[in-house]
Structure 1
Amino acid sequence: SARNGWLDDNGRVFLYFTQEEVMTMKVWKAALYIRLSVEFNGRRGDSLETQQQIMEAYLALCPDLEIVAVYTDNGTTGRTFEREAFQRMLDDVEHGRINCVVVKDLSRLGRNAIDSGYYIEKYFPLHQVRFIAVNDQFDSENKENSGSHLIVPLKNMINEAYAADISKKVKAQQRQAMQDGEFVGARPPFGYKKAPDNCHKLLVNEDTAPIVRQIFQWTVDGISLNEVVKRLNQSGYPTPGHYLAQTGLITNKRLMGSGKWQTWTVSKILADEVYMGDMVQGKSKTVGHKQVPTDRSEWIVVRGTHEPLIARELYERVQAVRERAAAKQGTEKIPYTENILRGRIFCGCCGKNLHRQRSRGIYSYRCIANDRMGVQYCPGGVTHLPEKRLFDALLAIIRKHAEVVVGTHTKLKQQDYKITAKKAEMTAEISKLQQETERNRVFLTSLYENFVTGILTGTEYHEMKAGYTQKIETAVLRVQQLQSKQKALENQMERYTDIAKRLAAVSEDTALSALLVNQLIDCVTVNSAEDIHVKFKFESGFERLMEVLEDV
């Protein structure tokens, strides 16, 4: 039948509803999903605030839609659905917290045609979720959208092609810039800075260029790599990572490094052709979302693009020195065995990693801090610890802890009845809370009906609504806490049982392997051959498990 209404500026139809219709209509729990792409170009219509305003204005005219949550993915590409906020929204869908998803337009949901089509055509209907794309005038509950199953995939394919086209254009522009000798990196090489008026041009950085020149000079003078590193650290020269941090070009602590020069950092500088004034780029490419090195034949090399820090003749002499040093070290053809303690074994005196070395086929560990940082940097460090002696000591420590853990696990098994009782108690409370929540939601719906019919005043309605809403939110939070504790209890039990089984399998004949180290050992601290401390991955595991039991 005909109904009065009006058209907005976009041609959308909004209708007047009678009081009886408002009272009987289903109220949807709506979630606003907002996504700002990594390729955001600054257009106002795409900003986070504008997307939310558009959706809120639309929902304000829809009495059957109530906003219960807003999910925002900022700076996230639409070509993948592995987005933090989007995944949280799906979790809330599956737990029944929301049953309607609203986006500004289809491109905000995603630019991958296949996955977008899956959510719109399969996932949302399966979970009885209403889907609305405001600017595309799409509403899965609107019968006039019955033919939109043809339009939606088409728009998704356009969005996907748009994203792919942007990516292709960006890569093509970068490659052309490389071929033109322009610098396209995010941060300049150590010894250079970007020109203030042109971020693609390199200028000599007088703060760090002398350090680079000194590294090359020491090397050509026959100074070993270890000695160069030692001199740099003793002189207090800033490392590339720390200099970038000091100048505000990086903030990630992981990228800053330790603040001490390492041999691999110096080797990288010595091998870089950029210091001859040549631009060498395209050394890596993205394959399957990962950066992989490219073959040298694929590098883009443009000569004489900027001021050199060293003469070409000096660079070539340094490469000859490095080649002779590599050839000398390469006389021993026997390959090294795997260092199963790499990154896990530290000096008890200075805290630095212990270095594994080989002499006449025998492996040993020692602290090389004095070699890198200067004499007396580590006055009490380990100078020589044979690997076999270390491994024997570690196995003895593991077997000793195995006895304790296996014994504790036996005691833990005796608590099975208590654990079962706790699980049942939590399950019963969750069920009770869910029933109370459902009753309160029914009361909340009736409040609105009483307000519309005039039984309740506006003040009474808002006060009572706030009370029931608080009860519902408190109950939902408690259910989440109980479910979290149930999961924590199960995870701790499973983890500790698994550890106990692994340790029980360690016998007198067991050899220390990479698998065993990865499963059990967090780190090893060596003060001396007789004073070795092991931090296990399972330490305090039993205590945490008992805390969970007591807490629930």
Structure 2
Amino acid sequence: MARTAERYLDLRPDKEREETVCRAGNYLRLSVDSDYTGSDSLENQRRLAREYADRASDIQIVKEYIDDGKTGTNFERPAFARMMADLRQGEIDCIIVKDLSRFGRAYTEAGSYIEKVFPFLGVRFISIVDRYDSSDPECDKELLLLSLKNLMHEMYAKDISKKVGSIYKIKQEKKVFYRSSTLPYGYKMDQAGKNYCIDEPAAEIVREIFAQYRKGTSKYVICQQLFERQVLTPAQYRKTGRVFRGDGDELKIWHASSLERILKNPVYIGNVLRHKTEQSFFEGKKSSAVPDEERVLITENHPALISAEVFEEVQDRLGCMREEYAGYRSRSDVVKESKVFEGNIFQGKLFCGKCGANMIRRVGYHHVDGQEVRHKEYMCDTYNRLPAKCSPGRIEEKELCAILYAAIRKHLSLIKGMKKLVERDVRYSFEARMQKLEGEKQRIRNCKAITEQEYLEKYARYTAGTSSRETFQEFRRVYLEKMNSYQEQLEELDAEGKKVKRNIASIKNMFLTWSAVDGGRKLTEDMVNSCIERIDVFPDKRLEVKLRYHDCFDLLEKWVEGEKEA
């Protein structure tokens, strides 16, 4: 008996399966210390991939994954993780990279992905510069060369890691200043590029933050004041160079955690704390925090923004606040509640419909028979931090799960009801459309051939002197217009043909993905990840749910309506 996953694999004839367009993901990576304008720049990697896809008739780039400033010595990269998730979900079935060094410099892991993981998942892997395409049988002979090149990349990375690590260690021992990857808010590099100097516009904001907190203002109130004054966050300031909001700038709310990092940073009294984390690729050590006693403090390195006395007072208050909070936690049931909230299945998918902010998970209370009962609920993060800027839209997790489970069950029933229809009628409809497109393309090719033959005849008459130059030039102008028109029509038909093929593949993937979660008795994380793309919650508890493969549902519904009318 055939496995369930194989029931949908033969929806198309063999010839059409061979011509299936690969839905490719373009993977780009740039290291922290890479030359942003060189051959490995993101733009150059993007251009090479697009040119390669344009030349290939069976590849279409549908997604792009960028790990900017990420090392290739391991595969713990955000964009790479997203790409692998999309591969497993069937959203892409091909990976394109500029060369193997962009994919990764770790020989063992890279070889495992290319020679084991990708073939198992049925994924096509293309390395442009290395002229490697896993779908080409002749490339199998180059796997040994591929592995050797990966080994060379890893050895190079380890050698560079050792040299760079040695340089940093010498500087730390001698307490020589070197800049961090991100400049502290309120400072900039001096003209020589060798040390920090005061960036006065941002420095004034830093002084105000210290002054407000020193006199007893809470971090949350300071954040609200900064928002009301339209002060851009440090991340926005680094991008725009503006302290206050300008035309076209999005005004974001400061986080209390960002404020605390500023208040705790000794850089504002002229000191620099280095060697806070430690990592060694050539020794196989991952990044980890260094104990306080092993960290390196460089004192009086640059001009201070605040006095040492103010900084010490602020540290004392921060310490007292931490002790008070620790006491509160020991006396309350917060610890118990944190265990209740382990595993948020809506992480990254639940948003406020009014302001677009994330919905945060929290404890809510309601009364039952005169008793206060706790429940889990979601609230707009903007309202939680700045109530005046959004509405108190809340929804209980239990209620949300019930609504989404009912919606998923409804669409699963729809899929079951349409299974035979898709396997039979929709497949024939797509095949008929492809045949019609191919017939139209052949008609245009015939017209092109006739027009070209006519051109050759006119040209022969012109060269023989039986036709005037003016007559031939006019005919040539009309001929070029016709040929351009034919070419445009062929390109449009090719694009439509690719769209039809993508629709077939998407519908097949939709059936496989949704059918995999059938049978669940309650809403699970797998259901949410497989079936839901985004959820917007409005203040009146109205939900807007965007399902995964919603385009396929729309396509099938339109097709069914068209069949009913016919």
Contact in 2 for aligned 1:194/1:203 (Cα 8 Å): yes
Contact in 1 for aligned 2:273/2:296 (Cα 8 Å): yes
Residue 422 of structure 1 and its aligned partner are, at CA, apart by: 0.9
Q: 1:478 aligns with which of 489, 511, 518?
A: 489
Question: Residues 381-460 of structure 1: matches in 2 within 5 Å?
Answer: 381-382=393-394, 385-403=395-413, 414-431=425-442, 433=444
Q: 2:342 aligns with which of 334, 337, 345?
A: 337
Identity across the alignment (%)? 20
Pair 87,366 (structure 1): closer, same or farther in 2 beyond 3 Å? closer
Query: Take 2:497 and 2:211, find their aligned partners in 1: how far apart are those partners?
Result: 64
Counterpart check, 1:87 vs 2:92: no
Higher relative contact order (CA 8 A, sep 6+): 2
Relative to the length of structure 1, the TM-score reads: 0.57
Contact in 2 for aligned 1:381/1:527 (Cα 8 Å): yes
Query: Take 2:228 and 2:295, find their aligned partners in 1: how far apart are those partners?
Result: 36
Counterpart check, 1:233 vs 2:227: yes
Query: Take 1:365 and 1:208, find their aligned partners in 2: how far apart are those partners?
Result: 35
Instruction: After superposing the two structures, state which structure 1 stretch, 259-268 or 76-85, moved more.
Output: 76-85
Partner of 1:14: none
Residue 355 of structure 1 and its aligned partner are, at CA, apart by: 1.7
Partner of 2:268: 275
Pair 248,325 (structure 1): closer, same or farther in 2 beyond 3 Å? same
Q: Give the root-mean-square deviation of aligned CA atoms.
A: 5.9
Counterpart check, 1:353 vs 2:358: yes
- Structure 2 SS opposite 1:304: coil
Query: Which amino acid letter does the alignment assign opposite residue 48 of structure 2?
Result: F
Partner of 2:376: 363
Query: Which amino acid letter does the alignment assign opposite residue 354 of structure 1?
Result: M
Pair 422,267 (structure 1): closer, same or farther in 2 beyond 3 Å? same
Contact in 2 for aligned 1:406/1:500 (Cα 8 Å): no
Contact in 2 for aligned 1:227/1:371 (Cα 8 Å): no
Residue 329 of structure 1 and its aligned partner are, at CA, apart by: 7.1
Query: Take 1:421 and 1:517, find their aligned partners in 2: how far apart are those partners?
Result: 35
Query: Take 1:547 and 1:272, find their aligned partners in 2: how far apart are those partners?
Result: 59
- Structure 2 SS opposite 1:260: coil
Relative to the length of structure 2, the TM-score reads: 0.56
Query: Take 2:406 and 2:251, find their aligned partners in 1: how far apart are those partners?
Result: 33
Question: Residues 131-150 of structure 1: matches in 2 within 5 Å?
Answer: none
Question: Residues 30-49 of structure 1: matches in 2 within 5 Å?
Answer: none
Q: 2:206 aligns with which of 179, 201, 212?
A: 212
Question: Residues 293-332 of structure 1: matches in 2 within 5 Å?
Answer: 295-296=289-290, 302-312=298-308, 314-315=310-311, 317-318=314-315, 320-321=319-320, 323-324=322-323, 327-328=326-327, 331=330, 332=335
- Structure 1 SS opposite 2:346: coil
Query: Which amino acid letter does the alignment assign opposite residue 488 of structure 1?
Result: K
Pair 366,86 (structure 1): closer, same or farther in 2 beyond 3 Å? closer
Aligned length: 424
Query: Which amino acid letter does the alignment assign opposite residue 373 of structure 1?
Result: L
Pair 477,511 (structure 1): closer, same or farther in 2 beyond 3 Å? same
Residue 260 of structure 1 and its aligned partner are, at CA, apart by: 1.6
- Structure 2 SS opposite 1:85: helix
Partner of 2:389: 377
Query: Take 1:447 and 1:296, find their aligned partners in 2: how far apart are those partners?
Result: 83
- Structure 2 SS opposite 1:512: coil
Query: Which amino acid letter does the alignment assign opposite residue 278 of structure 1?
Result: N
Residue 471 of structure 1 and its aligned partner are, at CA, apart by: 5.3
Query: Which amino acid letter does the alignment assign opposite residue 224 of structure 2?
Result: K
Residue 116 of structure 1 and its aligned partner are, at CA, apart by: 9.0
Residue 236 of structure 1 and its aligned partner are, at CA, apart by: 3.7
Partner of 1:492: 503
Instruction: After superposing the two structures, state which structure 1 stretch, 512-521 or 352-361, moved more.
Output: 352-361
| CA deviation vs aligned residue, 1:84-133 (integer Å, no higher than 9, x gap) | 3323443455559xxxxxxxxxxxxx99999898559xx9xx99xxxxxx
Contact in 1 for aligned 2:231/2:244 (Cα 8 Å): no
Pair 85,322 (structure 1): closer, same or farther in 2 beyond 3 Å? same
Which structure has greater helix proportion?
2
Q: 2:527 aligns with which of 496, 516, 519?
A: 516
Q: 1:247 aligns with which of 241, 247, 265?
A: 241
Residue 259 of structure 1 and its aligned partner are, at CA, apart by: 1.9
| CA deviation vs aligned residue, 1:472-491 (integer Å, no higher than 9, x gap) | 55444433332321221222
Residue 530 of structure 1 and its aligned partner are, at CA, apart by: 5.7
Contact in 2 for aligned 1:230/1:371 (Cα 8 Å): no
